[in-house]
Amino acid sequence: KQEVTQIPAALSVPEGENLVLNCSFTDSAIYNLQWFRQDPGKGLTSLLLIQSSQREQTSGRLNASLDKSSGRSTLYIAASQPGDSATYLCAVLDSNYQLIWGAGTKLIIKP
């Protein structure tokens, strides 16, 4: 059974710092991995999607990597800003076409 874990559960850093969020999964049989952002009380915003054949994706200050063999993904945020404060969720599309989610990392960027 696929399980997704995100570490840390919460992170607080000063504005301007670069940071890394981690996501691990137990079964490497995935179609893709996706990172989402969720603001309090809101829905999901898709940030980056990495297909199983890819190693990384970039969008602006965000870079996501995927190492399928070790069951790990990282989301790198460069030059963090207070507007980056949110909960970040990762999800894998498993072999049954189901998105399996981590519990999220709550990120606070201090001005």
The residue ranges that bind another protein (CB under 8 A) are 4, 31-32, 34, 41-44, 46, 49, 89, 91, 93, 96-104
**Nearer to another protein (CB atom), residue 13 or residue 99:** 99
For the CB of residue 45, give the shortest distance to another protein in the complex, in Å.
Answer: 9
- List, in sequence order, every residue forming a beta bridge with 63; answer none if it has no partner: 58, 76
**Nearer to another protein (CB atom), residue 69 or residue 96:** 96
Tokens encoding 29: 């049989």
Any idea what DSSP says for residue 1?
Answer: -
For the CB of residue 80, give the shortest distance to another protein in the complex, in Å.
Answer: 22
**Nearer to another protein (CB atom), residue 5 or residue 63:** 5
For the CB of residue 35, give the shortest distance to another protein in the complex, in Å.
Answer: 12
For the CB of residue 101, give the shortest distance to another protein in the complex, in Å.
Answer: 4
Q: What angle do CA 45, 49, 54 make, to 5 degrees?
A: 170
Burial 34-70 (b: 16+ CB within 10 A, else e): bbbbeeeeeeeeebbbbeeeeeebeeeebbbbbebee
